[in-house]
């Protein structure tokens, strides 16, 4: 029995965009490490806008999905598309849920009072549900933060990623550029309305199954994902020297800048975030997509960052839960705690790389051969 290539040949990657995804993912880990010491205040957070990396991920996703699939619908069915996306994303979703279960009981304490009395069977049930990406209701919470995935909080954004992919396959891919632009403008208005006139002056949230949090999640998803698609279809790429350095600097600058305004000027920070998501992030993507890597070292850096970007994002948070419980329950000062925070960041990179090489890549290759290769 002979085998022909998969339905679709893999397109070349935008290597700098892969690298930027890694820069953003590592920033998320550092952001969460510092978040442990903010006393629960969004105004005291160091690396204050690190959460906007999620919105940047959504923009990248829209751009990459449009690039990879817009011109291929004559060669594949919806189920072909879903298989490809599941093979790309689902193995690490499962691993993230398993790692969350492994570390769960180590996080017990005053900060997470629901952990200690949670029976093992219930924790394992939540783990299995997490492996499917089905969000749980607050009534099933086993931690106390009412997350839709309490073993691995960041999986909430993967839930919205899946929603975006389903909507893309069902009808968004059929939008003309004009219709897509109308939806992008509408989504931008929705985003600005929430950011500037909303209750918090930021887009923090999206991880709970209730009306308020789902509203935040869809507000965060719609503009970046649709705008990413529109950029890919219509925008002219920006070509500058040292594109990876320039785009990385701009990205880190937007994510590291302190909170703008206080509790009485929430609109100021909301306006800043709106500018970042609507204007600066697309600019960064256009610079990254239009750039070239002119050295072997830069190629290796971008490949490494791109390779670990998804694994580190989806596996680091169980360590953050553990670290946060230790810091809060024991009143650990930041001057001492950050030493172990550095160990946490390094451990997150190591775990992500091990998962990538020992699990994710072999499993995806096996699934690709089994489900994406035609047999004659």
Chain segment 43-97, per-residue pLDDT in tens? 999 899 999 999 999 999 999 999 999 999 999 999 999 999 999 999 999 999 9
Q: Count how many domains the chain has.
A: 1
3 three-class SS:
strand
The rounded percent of the chain whose pLDDT value lies above 90 is 94
Separation of alpha carbons 171 and 164, rounded Å: 11
**Among 61, 57, 49, residue whose Cα is nearest residue 24:** 57
**pLDDT over 90 at 302, yes or no:** yes
Per-residue confidence (pLDDT) for residue 374, from 0 to 100: 66
Q: Which pLDDT tens digit goes with each residue over 162-199? A: 999 999 999 999 999 999 999 999 999 999 999 999 99
**pLDDT over 60 at 2, yes or no:** no
- Whether residue 180 contacts residue 229, with contact meaning beta carbons closer than 8 Å, is answered with yes
SS3 per-residue string spanning 263-288: CCCHHHHHHHHHHHHHHHHHHHHHHH
Q: What is the DSSP letter of 360?
A: I
Secondary structure (DSSP) of 23-41: HHHHHHHHHHHHHTTSTT-
Place of tokens 């490809």: 84
- Tokens representing 337 are 């705690």
**Among 95, 88, 235, residue whose Cα is nearest residue 165:** 88
Q: For residue 26, give its domain range.
A: 3-38+46-375
**pLDDT over 50 at 226, yes or no:** yes
CA 87, distance to chain mean position in Å, is: 17
Per-residue confidence (pLDDT) for residue 194, from 0 to 100: 98
The rounded percent of the chain whose pLDDT value lies above 70 is 97
**Among 41, 20, 34, 47, residue whose Cα is nearest residue 262:** 41
Per-residue confidence (pLDDT) for residue 12, from 0 to 100: 78
Separation of alpha carbons 263 and 317, rounded Å: 28
Q: What is the DSSP letter of 131?
A: H
pLDDT tier at 6 (50, 70, 90 boundaries)?
very low
Separation of alpha carbons 27 and 94, rounded Å: 23
pLDDT tier at 262 (50, 70, 90 boundaries)?
very high
Q: Can you tell me the mean pLDDT for 29-35?
A: 97
Q: What is the pTM of this model?
A: 0.95
Positive or negative torsion for Cα 269, 309, 188, 286:
positive
pLDDT tier at 4 (50, 70, 90 boundaries)?
very low
Work out the mean pLDDT of the chain and round it to a whole number.
Answer: 95
pLDDT tier at 373 (50, 70, 90 boundaries)?
confident
DSSP E strands, the chain: 3-6, 373-375
**pLDDT over 60 at 219, yes or no:** yes
**pLDDT over 90 at 315, yes or no:** yes
pLDDT tier at 9 (50, 70, 90 boundaries)?
low
Secondary structure (DSSP) of 291-330: ----SHHHHHHHHHHHHHHHHHHHHSHHHHHHHHHHHHHT
């Amino acid at each position: 029995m002979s085998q022909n290539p998969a339905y679709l040949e893999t397109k070349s990657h935008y290597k700098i965009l892969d690298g930027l995804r890694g820069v953003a993912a590592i920033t998320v880990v550092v952001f969460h490490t510092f978040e442990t010491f903010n006393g629960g205040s969004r105004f005291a957070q160091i690396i204050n806008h690190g959460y906007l990396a999620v919105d940047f991920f959504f923009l990248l996703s829209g751009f990459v999905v449009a690039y990879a699939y817009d011109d291929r619908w004559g060669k594949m069915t919806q189920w072909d598309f879903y298989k490809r996306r599941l093979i790309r994303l689902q193995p690490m979703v499962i691993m993230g849920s398993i790692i969350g279960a492994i570390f769960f009981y180590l996080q017990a304490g005053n900060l997470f009072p629901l952990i200690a009395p949670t029976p093992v069977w219930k924790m394992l049930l939540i783990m299995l549900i997490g492996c499917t990406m089905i969000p749980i209701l607050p009534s099933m919470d086993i931690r106390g933060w009412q997350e839709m995935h309490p073993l691995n909080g960041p999986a909430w954004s993967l839930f919205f990623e899946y929603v975006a992919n389903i909507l893309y396959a069902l009808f968004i891919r059929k939008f003309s550029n004009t219709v897509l632009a109308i939806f992008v403008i509408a989504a931008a208005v929705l985003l600005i309305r929430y950011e500037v006139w909303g209750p918090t002056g930021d887009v923090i949230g999206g991880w709970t199954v209730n009306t308020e949090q789902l509203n935040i999640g869809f507000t965060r998803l719609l503009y970046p994902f649709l705008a990413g698609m529109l950029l890919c279809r219509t925008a002219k790429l920006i070509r500058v020297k040292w594109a990876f350095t320039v785009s990385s600097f701009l990205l880190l600058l937007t994510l590291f800048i302190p909170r703008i305004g206080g509790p009485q000027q929430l609109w100021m920070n909301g306006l800043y975030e709106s500018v970042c998501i609507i204007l600066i992030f697309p600019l960064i993507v256009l610079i990254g997509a239009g750039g070239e890597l002119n050295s072997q070292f830069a190629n290796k850096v971008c490949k490494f960052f791109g390779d670990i970007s998804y694994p580190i994002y989806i596996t680091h948070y169980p360590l953050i839960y553990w670290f946060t419980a230790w810091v809060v329950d024991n009143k650990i000062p930041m001057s001492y705690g950050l030493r172990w925070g550095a160990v946490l960041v390094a451990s997150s990179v190591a775990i992500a790389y091990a998962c990538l090489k020992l699990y994710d890549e072999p499993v995806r290759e096996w699934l690709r051969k089994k489900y994406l290769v035609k047999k004659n």
